[in-house]
Amino acid sequence: MMSSKRKLTSIFEVTGSILAIVYALLVASNTGNEVLGFSLLLLSSGLFALWAVIDRRWAFLMLQFFYAISAVIGLIRWY
């Protein structure tokens, strides 16, 4: 049986990955959905950041700060 910590990190991992995939497809499609895409990137990086804190993966947490900043820049640029 999975511990509650492992269940939570699995949810963050899977959901964050799905959101990141949808973000990439939306931005690459150039269909006018960039604001939605960058919003999903921001949400995805938040979920991955939570996962990184729970698992104490500090380098991965730093990477999520970069993705969050990229998402904010994208939102500012496209909004």
| pLDDT tens, position by position, 56-65 | 999 999 999 9
Q: Which domain holds residue 35?
A: 4-78
Q: Which residues contact 37 (CB under 8 A, 6 or more apart)?
A: 22, 23, 24, 25, 26, 27, 74
Over the stretch 8-39, which tens digit does the pLDDT of each residue have? Answer: 999 999 999 999 999 999 999 999 999 999 99
Given this model, what pLDDT does residue 11 score? Answer: 95
Given this model, what pLDDT does residue 3 score? Answer: 87
**What total number of domains does the chain contain?**
1
